[in-house]
Structure 1
Protein backbone atom coordinates (compact mmCIF):
# COMPACT_ATOMS: atom_id res chain seq x y z
CA UNK A 1 0.00 0.00 0.00
CA UNK A 2 1.00 3.62 -0.40
CA UNK A 3 3.91 5.15 1.46
CA UNK A 4 2.51 7.59 4.03
CA UNK A 5 4.76 10.25 2.49
CA UNK A 6 2.24 10.56 -0.35
CA UNK A 7 -1.03 10.16 1.49
CA UNK A 8 -2.01 13.84 1.19
CA UNK A 9 -1.97 13.36 -2.57
CA UNK A 10 -5.43 11.81 -2.27
CA UNK A 11 -6.75 15.25 -1.33
CA UNK A 12 -4.73 16.95 -4.04
CA UNK A 13 -5.97 14.49 -6.67
CA UNK A 14 -9.56 15.17 -5.59
CA UNK A 15 -8.95 18.92 -5.90
CA UNK A 16 -7.49 18.49 -9.39
CA UNK A 17 -10.39 16.33 -10.57
CA UNK A 18 -12.94 18.74 -9.11
CA UNK A 19 -11.24 21.68 -10.82
CA UNK A 20 -11.22 19.75 -14.10
CA UNK A 21 -14.78 18.36 -14.13
CA UNK A 22 -16.62 20.41 -11.47
CA UNK A 23 -19.38 19.06 -9.21
CA UNK A 24 -21.05 15.96 -10.59
CA UNK A 25 -24.40 15.77 -8.79
CA UNK A 26 -24.50 12.04 -8.16
CA UNK A 27 -26.69 9.94 -7.61
CA UNK A 28 -28.80 10.70 -10.74
CA UNK A 29 -32.58 10.22 -10.39
CA UNK A 30 -34.99 9.37 -13.18
CA UNK A 31 -37.70 11.76 -11.94
CA UNK A 32 -35.39 14.77 -11.71
CA UNK A 33 -34.71 17.16 -14.61
CA UNK A 34 -31.12 17.97 -13.71
CA UNK A 35 -28.43 17.64 -16.38
CA UNK A 36 -25.12 15.80 -16.27
CA UNK A 37 -22.53 18.64 -16.10
CA UNK A 38 -20.03 16.79 -18.31
CA UNK A 39 -22.60 15.56 -20.86
CA UNK A 40 -21.12 12.05 -20.98
CA UNK A 41 -23.05 8.83 -20.52
CA UNK A 42 -26.57 9.35 -19.21
CA UNK A 43 -27.39 13.05 -19.23
CA UNK A 44 -30.43 13.49 -16.97
CA UNK A 45 -31.18 13.30 -13.27
CA UNK A 46 -28.05 14.93 -11.89
CA UNK A 47 -28.06 17.57 -9.15
CA UNK A 48 -24.69 19.35 -8.82
CA UNK A 49 -24.08 20.87 -5.34
CA UNK A 50 -27.50 19.78 -4.07
CA UNK A 51 -26.75 17.18 -1.43
CA UNK A 52 -30.30 16.88 -0.11
CA UNK A 53 -30.92 13.90 -2.37
CA UNK A 54 -32.40 11.39 -1.96
CA UNK A 55 -35.30 13.55 -0.83
CA UNK A 56 -37.87 10.83 -0.11
CA UNK A 57 -38.15 7.12 0.54
CA UNK A 58 -38.87 6.29 -3.11
CA UNK A 59 -35.70 8.03 -4.26
CA UNK A 60 -33.76 6.26 -1.54
CA UNK A 61 -34.97 2.88 -2.71
CA UNK A 62 -34.28 3.90 -6.31
CA UNK A 63 -30.62 4.22 -5.31
CA UNK A 64 -30.74 0.84 -3.61
CA UNK A 65 -32.30 -0.81 -6.68
CA UNK A 66 -29.86 0.97 -8.97
CA UNK A 67 -26.88 -0.13 -6.90
CA UNK A 68 -27.81 -3.73 -7.61
CA UNK A 69 -28.78 -3.23 -11.25
CA UNK A 70 -25.46 -1.52 -12.01
CA UNK A 71 -23.43 -4.61 -11.17
CA UNK A 72 -21.42 -5.57 -14.27
CA UNK A 73 -23.09 -3.09 -16.59
CA UNK A 74 -23.14 0.58 -17.57
CA UNK A 75 -25.25 3.38 -16.14
CA UNK A 76 -27.28 4.10 -19.30
CA UNK A 77 -28.52 0.48 -19.16
CA UNK A 78 -29.44 0.93 -15.50
CA UNK A 79 -31.28 4.16 -16.29
CA UNK A 80 -33.27 2.33 -18.96
CA UNK A 81 -34.15 -0.48 -16.53
CA UNK A 82 -35.23 2.00 -13.85
CA UNK A 83 -37.42 3.84 -16.34
CA UNK A 84 -38.96 0.52 -17.39
CA UNK A 85 -39.65 -0.46 -13.79
CA UNK A 86 -41.03 2.96 -12.96
CA UNK A 87 -43.82 2.39 -15.48
CA UNK A 88 -44.82 -0.82 -13.70
CA UNK A 89 -44.25 -0.39 -9.99
CA UNK A 90 -43.50 2.08 -7.19
CA UNK A 91 -39.96 2.21 -5.87
CA UNK A 92 -40.54 0.82 -2.42
CA UNK A 93 -39.57 -2.61 -1.03
CA UNK A 94 -43.07 -4.05 -0.72
CA UNK A 95 -44.14 -2.97 -4.22
CA UNK A 96 -40.97 -4.31 -5.81
CA UNK A 97 -41.24 -7.63 -3.98
CA UNK A 98 -44.92 -8.16 -4.73
CA UNK A 99 -44.56 -7.25 -8.39
CA UNK A 100 -41.49 -9.44 -8.86
CA UNK A 101 -43.24 -12.39 -7.22
CA UNK A 102 -46.56 -12.00 -9.01
CA UNK A 103 -45.42 -10.71 -12.40
CA UNK A 104 -42.09 -12.40 -12.89
CA UNK A 105 -41.79 -12.17 -16.68
CA UNK A 106 -42.78 -8.48 -16.98
CA UNK A 107 -40.37 -7.74 -14.13
CA UNK A 108 -37.52 -9.61 -15.82
CA UNK A 109 -38.29 -8.01 -19.17
CA UNK A 110 -38.06 -4.57 -17.56
CA UNK A 111 -34.54 -5.19 -16.29
CA UNK A 112 -33.30 -7.40 -19.13
CA UNK A 113 -31.21 -4.53 -20.51
CA UNK A 114 -28.81 -4.74 -17.55
CA UNK A 115 -28.00 -8.42 -18.05
CA UNK A 116 -27.86 -11.28 -15.52
CA UNK A 117 -31.63 -10.98 -15.33
CA UNK A 118 -32.39 -14.07 -13.21
CA UNK A 119 -29.64 -13.27 -10.77
CA UNK A 120 -30.57 -9.61 -10.39
CA UNK A 121 -34.25 -10.43 -10.01
CA UNK A 122 -33.34 -12.65 -7.07
CA UNK A 123 -31.08 -9.97 -5.62
CA UNK A 124 -33.80 -7.32 -5.87
CA UNK A 125 -36.19 -9.62 -4.05
CA UNK A 126 -33.57 -10.23 -1.38
CA UNK A 127 -32.90 -6.55 -0.76
CA UNK A 128 -36.63 -5.80 -0.73
CA UNK A 129 -37.18 -8.44 1.93
CA UNK A 130 -34.26 -7.05 3.89
CA UNK A 131 -35.70 -3.51 4.00
CA UNK A 132 -39.20 -4.76 4.77
CA UNK A 133 -37.82 -6.69 7.73
CA UNK A 134 -35.64 -3.77 8.79
CA UNK A 135 -38.60 -1.41 8.92
CA UNK A 136 -40.76 -3.93 10.79
CA UNK A 137 -38.02 -4.72 13.30
CA UNK A 138 -37.18 -1.11 14.03
CA UNK A 139 -40.46 0.58 13.16
CA UNK A 140 -38.40 3.33 11.54
CA UNK A 141 -38.47 3.96 7.82
CA UNK A 142 -35.27 6.00 7.91
CA UNK A 143 -33.20 3.62 9.99
CA UNK A 144 -29.77 3.01 8.50
CA UNK A 145 -28.69 -0.62 8.16
CA UNK A 146 -25.25 -1.70 9.25
CA UNK A 147 -22.68 -2.55 6.62
CA UNK A 148 -22.38 -6.00 8.16
CA UNK A 149 -26.12 -6.65 7.80
CA UNK A 150 -26.16 -5.45 4.20
CA UNK A 151 -23.28 -7.76 3.34
CA UNK A 152 -25.27 -10.68 4.76
CA UNK A 153 -27.90 -10.19 2.02
CA UNK A 154 -27.26 -12.48 -0.95
CA UNK A 155 -26.26 -10.32 -3.90
CA UNK A 156 -24.75 -7.53 -1.83
CA UNK A 157 -20.96 -7.38 -1.93
CA UNK A 158 -18.57 -4.72 -0.70
CA UNK A 159 -19.04 -2.32 -3.60
CA UNK A 160 -22.83 -2.56 -3.62
CA UNK A 161 -23.04 -2.16 0.16
CA UNK A 162 -20.88 0.97 0.04
CA UNK A 163 -22.91 2.36 -2.85
CA UNK A 164 -26.12 1.90 -0.86
CA UNK A 165 -24.69 3.40 2.31
CA UNK A 166 -22.97 6.33 0.58
CA UNK A 167 -25.65 7.40 -1.88
CA UNK A 168 -28.91 6.18 -0.31
CA UNK A 169 -28.13 6.64 3.39
CA UNK A 170 -25.47 9.39 3.17
CA UNK A 171 -22.91 7.48 5.19
CA UNK A 172 -19.19 8.16 4.94
CA UNK A 173 -18.23 4.96 3.15
CA UNK A 174 -15.77 5.03 0.26
CA UNK A 175 -16.95 3.04 -2.74
CA UNK A 176 -14.14 1.25 -4.57
CA UNK A 177 -14.81 0.17 -8.15
CA UNK A 178 -12.71 -1.04 -11.07
CA UNK A 179 -12.08 2.55 -12.18
CA UNK A 180 -10.67 3.40 -8.75
CA UNK A 181 -8.32 0.45 -8.99
CA UNK A 182 -7.22 1.30 -12.53
CA UNK A 183 -6.44 4.94 -11.79
CA UNK A 184 -4.64 4.45 -8.51
CA UNK A 185 -2.75 1.37 -9.67
CA UNK A 186 -1.49 3.35 -12.66
CA UNK A 187 -0.49 6.24 -10.42
CA UNK A 188 1.36 3.86 -8.10
CA UNK A 189 -0.67 4.26 -4.91
CA UNK A 190 -2.06 0.75 -4.77
CA UNK A 191 -1.21 -2.63 -6.21
CA UNK A 192 -3.42 -4.49 -8.64
CA UNK A 193 -3.98 -7.33 -6.18
CA UNK A 194 -4.74 -5.15 -3.13
CA UNK A 195 -7.98 -6.18 -1.46
CA UNK A 196 -11.17 -4.14 -1.61
CA UNK A 197 -11.05 -3.41 2.12
CA UNK A 198 -7.42 -2.32 2.13
CA UNK A 199 -8.11 0.21 -0.65
CA UNK A 200 -11.31 1.40 1.05
CA UNK A 201 -9.54 1.83 4.39
CA UNK A 202 -6.70 3.71 2.74
CA UNK A 203 -9.07 6.26 1.21
CA UNK A 204 -11.19 6.59 4.34
CA UNK A 205 -8.10 7.13 6.49
CA UNK A 206 -6.35 9.64 4.27
CA UNK A 207 -9.00 11.58 2.37
CA UNK A 208 -10.21 14.47 4.50
CA UNK A 209 -13.53 15.16 2.77
CA UNK A 210 -16.98 14.90 4.33
CA UNK A 211 -19.70 12.54 3.08
CA UNK A 212 -20.65 14.93 0.27
CA UNK A 213 -17.07 14.94 -0.96
CA UNK A 214 -16.96 11.14 -0.70
CA UNK A 215 -19.87 11.11 -3.13
CA UNK A 216 -18.11 13.60 -5.39
CA UNK A 217 -14.82 11.70 -5.32
CA UNK A 218 -16.43 8.51 -6.59
CA UNK A 219 -18.30 10.41 -9.31
CA UNK A 220 -15.15 12.27 -10.36
CA UNK A 221 -13.17 9.03 -10.53
CA UNK A 222 -15.80 7.57 -12.84
CA UNK A 223 -15.86 10.66 -15.05
CA UNK A 224 -12.08 10.76 -15.33
CA UNK A 225 -11.72 7.04 -15.91
CA UNK A 226 -14.28 7.02 -18.72
CA UNK A 227 -11.89 9.28 -20.61
CA UNK A 228 -8.50 7.76 -19.81
CA UNK A 229 -8.97 4.31 -18.27
CA UNK A 230 -11.60 2.55 -20.35
CA UNK A 231 -9.13 0.78 -22.64
CA UNK A 232 -5.70 -0.72 -22.11
CA UNK A 233 -3.06 0.44 -21.64
CA UNK A 234 -4.81 2.34 -18.86
CA UNK A 235 -3.78 5.90 -18.15
CA UNK A 236 -1.08 6.35 -20.75
CA UNK A 237 -2.68 9.59 -21.96
CA UNK A 238 -3.66 10.82 -18.51
CA UNK A 239 -1.88 14.16 -18.45
CA UNK A 240 -4.32 15.53 -15.88
CA UNK A 241 -3.13 13.31 -13.03
CA UNK A 242 0.35 12.55 -14.36
CA UNK A 243 1.95 14.95 -11.86
CA UNK A 244 0.75 12.71 -9.03
CA UNK A 245 2.32 9.51 -10.35
CA UNK A 246 4.83 7.98 -7.94
Structure 2
Protein backbone atom coordinates (compact mmCIF):
# COMPACT_ATOMS: atom_id res chain seq x y z
CA UNK A 1 0.00 0.00 0.00
CA UNK A 2 1.43 3.37 -1.02
CA UNK A 3 1.74 6.11 1.57
CA UNK A 4 -0.84 8.84 1.66
CA UNK A 5 0.38 12.33 0.77
CA UNK A 6 -0.52 15.51 2.62
CA UNK A 7 -0.49 19.19 1.77
CA UNK A 8 -0.89 21.68 4.65
CA UNK A 9 -1.47 25.39 4.05
CA UNK A 10 -2.90 28.44 5.83
CA UNK A 11 -6.49 29.57 5.37
CA UNK A 12 -8.38 32.57 6.73
CA UNK A 13 -6.61 34.26 9.64
CA UNK A 14 -5.50 31.19 11.57
CA UNK A 15 -7.07 28.04 10.07
CA UNK A 16 -5.07 25.19 8.64
CA UNK A 17 -6.16 23.69 5.34
CA UNK A 18 -5.19 20.08 4.74
CA UNK A 19 -5.44 17.99 1.60
CA UNK A 20 -5.11 14.21 1.91
CA UNK A 21 -4.16 12.41 -1.32
CA UNK A 22 -4.31 8.69 -2.10
CA UNK A 23 -2.04 8.12 -5.12
CA UNK A 24 -3.24 4.56 -5.71
CA UNK A 25 -6.87 5.53 -6.20
CA UNK A 26 -6.16 9.12 -7.32
CA UNK A 27 -8.44 10.49 -4.60
CA UNK A 28 -7.99 13.77 -2.73
CA UNK A 29 -9.91 14.79 0.37
CA UNK A 30 -10.04 18.27 1.81
CA UNK A 31 -10.16 18.08 5.59
CA UNK A 32 -12.91 20.64 6.08
CA UNK A 33 -13.34 23.55 3.69
CA UNK A 34 -12.39 26.77 5.47
CA UNK A 35 -11.71 28.96 2.43
CA UNK A 36 -12.10 28.34 -1.30
CA UNK A 37 -9.08 29.92 -2.98
CA UNK A 38 -6.30 28.51 -0.76
CA UNK A 39 -7.80 25.03 -1.16
CA UNK A 40 -7.96 25.30 -4.95
CA UNK A 41 -4.44 26.75 -5.10
CA UNK A 42 -3.09 23.88 -2.98
CA UNK A 43 -4.80 21.29 -5.17
CA UNK A 44 -3.47 22.90 -8.35
CA UNK A 45 0.01 23.14 -6.85
CA UNK A 46 0.04 19.38 -6.34
CA UNK A 47 -1.91 18.50 -9.50
CA UNK A 48 -4.71 16.92 -7.48
CA UNK A 49 -8.48 16.93 -8.09
CA UNK A 50 -10.61 17.17 -4.98
CA UNK A 51 -12.91 14.16 -4.75
CA UNK A 52 -14.01 14.35 -1.10
CA UNK A 53 -14.50 16.72 1.80
CA UNK A 54 -14.22 15.23 5.28
CA UNK A 55 -16.24 17.68 7.39
CA UNK A 56 -15.57 17.63 11.12
CA UNK A 57 -18.20 20.09 12.36
CA UNK A 58 -20.62 22.76 11.22
CA UNK A 59 -18.82 26.01 12.10
CA UNK A 60 -18.58 28.42 9.20
CA UNK A 61 -14.80 28.52 9.18
CA UNK A 62 -14.83 24.77 8.45
CA UNK A 63 -17.67 24.52 5.89
CA UNK A 64 -17.58 27.89 4.11
CA UNK A 65 -16.29 26.48 0.82
CA UNK A 66 -18.31 23.25 0.78
CA UNK A 67 -20.80 24.22 -1.89
CA UNK A 68 -18.33 26.02 -4.14
CA UNK A 69 -15.94 23.06 -4.05
CA UNK A 70 -18.81 20.67 -4.72
CA UNK A 71 -19.96 22.78 -7.64
CA UNK A 72 -16.46 22.89 -9.10
CA UNK A 73 -15.29 19.30 -8.47
CA UNK A 74 -18.51 17.33 -7.84
CA UNK A 75 -16.80 16.03 -4.70
CA UNK A 76 -18.49 13.89 -2.06
CA UNK A 77 -19.04 15.58 1.29
CA UNK A 78 -18.91 13.37 4.38
CA UNK A 79 -19.77 14.73 7.81
CA UNK A 80 -21.34 14.09 11.21
CA UNK A 81 -24.94 12.91 11.27
CA UNK A 82 -25.59 14.85 14.48
CA UNK A 83 -24.95 18.10 12.57
CA UNK A 84 -26.29 17.05 9.18
CA UNK A 85 -28.80 19.88 8.88
CA UNK A 86 -26.04 22.47 9.37
CA UNK A 87 -23.47 21.10 6.92
CA UNK A 88 -23.86 22.48 3.38
CA UNK A 89 -23.96 19.87 0.61
CA UNK A 90 -23.65 16.84 2.88
CA UNK A 91 -23.79 13.55 0.95
CA UNK A 92 -22.90 10.94 3.55
CA UNK A 93 -23.67 11.31 7.26
CA UNK A 94 -21.49 9.34 9.66
CA UNK A 95 -21.75 8.39 13.33
CA UNK A 96 -19.31 7.41 16.03
CA UNK A 97 -17.80 4.03 15.23
CA UNK A 98 -18.56 4.17 11.52
CA UNK A 99 -15.86 3.40 8.96
CA UNK A 100 -15.56 4.10 5.25
CA UNK A 101 -12.99 3.48 2.56
CA UNK A 102 -10.73 6.06 0.97
CA UNK A 103 -9.15 4.02 -1.78
CA UNK A 104 -7.45 1.11 0.02
CA UNK A 105 -7.38 3.06 3.30
CA UNK A 106 -9.95 2.67 6.08
CA UNK A 107 -11.17 5.83 7.78
CA UNK A 108 -12.68 5.46 11.25
CA UNK A 109 -15.08 8.05 12.62
CA UNK A 110 -14.66 9.14 16.25
CA UNK A 111 -17.41 11.35 17.64
CA UNK A 112 -15.94 14.00 19.95
CA UNK A 113 -18.69 16.29 21.27
CA UNK A 114 -17.58 19.36 23.19
CA UNK A 115 -16.60 22.17 20.84
CA UNK A 116 -19.83 21.41 18.99
CA UNK A 117 -22.51 18.85 19.77
CA UNK A 118 -21.64 16.50 16.93
CA UNK A 119 -17.96 17.17 16.14
CA UNK A 120 -16.19 14.15 14.65
CA UNK A 121 -12.54 13.30 14.07
CA UNK A 122 -11.23 11.07 11.29
CA UNK A 123 -8.69 8.37 12.14
CA UNK A 124 -6.75 6.36 9.57
CA UNK A 125 -5.23 3.59 11.69
CA UNK A 126 -2.97 2.00 9.06
CA UNK A 127 -1.41 5.36 8.27
CA UNK A 128 -1.41 6.47 11.92
CA UNK A 129 -3.17 9.72 11.07
CA UNK A 130 -5.78 11.65 13.05
CA UNK A 131 -7.62 14.72 11.79
CA UNK A 132 -8.80 16.32 15.02
CA UNK A 133 -9.94 19.77 13.78
CA UNK A 134 -11.17 21.77 16.79
CA UNK A 135 -11.31 19.00 19.40
CA UNK A 136 -7.58 18.60 20.06
CA UNK A 137 -4.95 21.23 19.28
CA UNK A 138 -1.25 21.22 19.93
CA UNK A 139 -1.15 22.04 23.66
CA UNK A 140 -4.84 22.89 23.64
CA UNK A 141 -8.42 21.91 22.94
CA UNK A 142 -11.43 23.64 21.46
CA UNK A 143 -13.65 26.04 23.33
CA UNK A 144 -16.82 24.51 24.74
CA UNK A 145 -19.67 26.01 22.75
CA UNK A 146 -22.32 23.30 22.63
CA UNK A 147 -21.48 20.65 25.24
CA UNK A 148 -20.29 20.74 28.86
CA UNK A 149 -16.75 20.14 30.04
CA UNK A 150 -17.42 16.55 31.10
CA UNK A 151 -18.39 15.68 27.53
CA UNK A 152 -15.23 17.24 26.10
CA UNK A 153 -13.11 15.46 28.69
CA UNK A 154 -14.65 12.14 27.61
CA UNK A 155 -14.00 13.03 23.97
CA UNK A 156 -10.37 13.84 24.64
CA UNK A 157 -9.96 10.53 26.45
CA UNK A 158 -11.05 8.75 23.27
CA UNK A 159 -8.26 10.48 21.36
CA UNK A 160 -5.70 9.94 24.11
CA UNK A 161 -6.39 6.20 23.87
CA UNK A 162 -5.06 6.10 20.30
CA UNK A 163 -1.46 4.91 19.79
CA UNK A 164 1.18 7.40 20.90
CA UNK A 165 2.72 7.49 17.42
CA UNK A 166 -0.52 8.72 15.83
CA UNK A 167 0.19 11.94 13.92
CA UNK A 168 -2.38 14.64 14.66
CA UNK A 169 -3.46 17.38 12.26
CA UNK A 170 -5.55 20.10 13.89
CA UNK A 171 -7.66 23.01 12.73
CA UNK A 172 -5.95 26.21 13.89
CA UNK A 173 -2.54 27.77 14.53
CA UNK A 174 -3.18 28.52 18.21
CA UNK A 175 -0.08 26.76 19.49
CA UNK A 176 1.96 29.72 20.70
CA UNK A 177 -0.88 31.06 22.86
CA UNK A 178 -1.60 27.53 24.04
CA UNK A 179 2.04 27.04 25.06
CA UNK A 180 2.14 30.29 27.03
CA UNK A 181 -0.99 29.20 28.89
CA UNK A 182 0.09 25.59 29.41
CA UNK A 183 3.17 26.53 31.41
CA UNK A 184 0.95 28.36 33.92
CA UNK A 185 -0.94 25.11 34.57
CA UNK A 186 2.00 22.69 34.52
CA UNK A 187 4.99 24.90 35.45
CA UNK A 188 7.39 22.15 36.52
CA UNK A 189 6.97 19.98 33.40
CA UNK A 190 10.41 20.02 31.80
CA UNK A 191 9.15 18.50 28.54
CA UNK A 192 6.51 21.20 28.32
CA UNK A 193 9.02 23.98 28.95
CA UNK A 194 11.31 22.64 26.24
CA UNK A 195 8.40 22.34 23.84
CA UNK A 196 7.21 25.87 24.60
CA UNK A 197 10.67 27.22 23.77
CA UNK A 198 10.69 25.25 20.52
CA UNK A 199 7.27 26.66 19.59
CA UNK A 200 8.40 30.22 20.33
CA UNK A 201 11.31 29.69 17.92
CA UNK A 202 9.15 28.12 15.20
CA UNK A 203 6.62 30.94 15.26
CA UNK A 204 9.35 33.59 15.34
CA UNK A 205 10.52 32.10 12.04
CA UNK A 206 6.97 32.01 10.66
CA UNK A 207 6.89 28.20 10.62
CA UNK A 208 3.87 26.00 11.30
CA UNK A 209 3.49 24.01 14.53
CA UNK A 210 1.46 21.30 12.81
CA UNK A 211 1.42 18.30 13.11
CA UNK A 212 1.81 16.88 16.60
CA UNK A 213 1.41 13.34 17.97
CA UNK A 214 -0.79 11.77 20.60
CA UNK A 215 2.32 10.86 22.60
CA UNK A 216 3.63 14.42 22.65
CA UNK A 217 0.23 15.77 23.69
CA UNK A 218 -0.10 13.26 26.53
CA UNK A 219 3.23 14.45 27.90
CA UNK A 220 2.72 18.19 27.52
CA UNK A 221 -0.90 19.21 26.85
CA UNK A 222 -2.59 20.18 30.15
CA UNK A 223 -6.02 19.44 28.70
CA UNK A 224 -5.07 15.76 28.50
CA UNK A 225 -3.35 15.76 31.89
CA UNK A 226 -6.15 16.51 34.36
CA UNK A 227 -5.24 13.40 36.36
CA UNK A 228 -1.62 14.48 36.85
CA UNK A 229 -0.83 15.03 40.58
CA UNK A 230 1.42 18.04 39.89
CA UNK A 231 -1.31 19.84 37.95
CA UNK A 232 -3.91 19.01 40.60
CA UNK A 233 -1.63 20.35 43.32
CA UNK A 234 -0.90 23.50 41.34
CA UNK A 235 -4.63 24.12 40.94
CA UNK A 236 -5.49 23.19 44.55
CA UNK A 237 -7.81 20.44 43.26
CA UNK A 238 -6.31 17.25 44.71
CA UNK A 239 -9.71 15.82 45.66
CA UNK A 240 -11.65 16.78 42.52
CA UNK A 241 -12.61 14.53 39.62
CA UNK A 242 -10.62 14.57 36.41
CA UNK A 243 -13.55 16.18 34.61
CA UNK A 244 -13.70 18.96 37.23
CA UNK A 245 -9.97 19.61 36.91
CA UNK A 246 -10.33 19.72 33.12
CA UNK A 247 -13.24 22.17 33.45
CA UNK A 248 -11.11 24.47 35.61
CA UNK A 249 -8.25 24.37 33.09
CA UNK A 250 -10.65 25.18 30.26
CA UNK A 251 -12.16 28.09 32.22
CA UNK A 252 -8.71 29.48 32.95
CA UNK A 253 -7.77 29.27 29.29
CA UNK A 254 -10.97 31.10 28.31
CA UNK A 255 -9.90 33.94 30.61
CA UNK A 256 -6.16 33.85 29.88
Provide the TM-score with structure 2 as the length reference: 0.29
Higher relative contact order (CA closer than 8 Å, sequence separation 6+): 1
Provide the TM-score with structure 1 as the length reference: 0.30
